[in-house]
Amino acid sequence: VDNDTRLRLEGEGDVSLQGGPPGDCYVFISVQEHPFFRREGQHLICQVPITYSQAVLGATIQVPTLEGKEDLEIPPGTASGQVFRLRGRGMPDPRYRGRGDLLVEVVIDVPKRLSAEHERLLRELAKIEHADVMPRRKSFLEMLKNFFTSGSDSPRKENPR
């Protein structure tokens, strides 16, 4: 059933005040949004996070379907936003006795915090790729401590005269 579908139930409405036959009953259907799947016609769409290493090296991940979890092969070199199609895993289509597809969009999950080992390995990779990356920034407290102990890393600049 699609959102905003109107069903007519013939003869299931109220009886007229003059005693005539019952009228028709109209049922208006609103489909509630799902927290994970988005619907486009008979197709379902979802976003699934993957790691950088899964995107680069490839992996087999589990994705949710209406029937449970299913394995999805992520090939090496997958880009963020790439869409994979699982045929016949969408919504049933009673008009054609088939089902839509499940479209899985993978999104590379970039971590907000890194362990020291992760950071070391990524900096090593950046060197191999000859990529310019920002140096690790000192925390405000480290700069403040250095300011009072050695005067270096001063947040203030000297005014040349």
CATH number, residue 56: 2.60.260.20
43-50 and 38-40 beta bridge pairing: antiparallel
* 63 located within any domain: yes
Residues 10 and 28 occupy one common structural domain: yes
* 157 located within any domain: no
- Residue holding tokens 């003869």? 11
From CA 41, how far away is CA 100, in angstroms rounded? 8
Residues 22-36 pLDDT 10s? 888 999 988 778 888
Domain containing residue 99: 34-108
- Nearest by Cα to 125 from 137, 116, 133, 115: 133
* 123 located within any domain: yes
Residues 12 and 61 occupy one common structural domain: no
Q: Which two tokens stand for residue 101?
A: 């597809």
| Number of separate domains in the chain | 3
Residues 108-153 pLDDT 10s? 999 889 899 999 998 898 888 877 766 665 566 676 677 777 655 4
The confidence score (pLDDT) of residue 54 equals: 96
Report the Cα 50 to chain-centroid distance in Å. Answer: 10
pTM value is 0.66
Per-residue pLDDT band at 161 (split at 50, 70, 90): very low
Rg of the chain over Cα atoms, rounded to whole angstroms, equals 29
* 79 located within any domain: yes
Residues 45 and 26 occupy one common structural domain: no
Residues 98 and 41 occupy one common structural domain: yes
Residues 89 and 60 occupy one common structural domain: yes
Q: Which two tokens stand for residue 67?
A: 């029937």
Residues 26 and 42 occupy one common structural domain: no
Please report the sign of the dihedral spanned by the C-alpha atoms of residue 83, residue 86, residue 91, residue 92.
positive
Residues 97 and 51 occupy one common structural domain: yes
Residues 41 and 27 occupy one common structural domain: no
Per-residue pLDDT band at 1 (split at 50, 70, 90): low
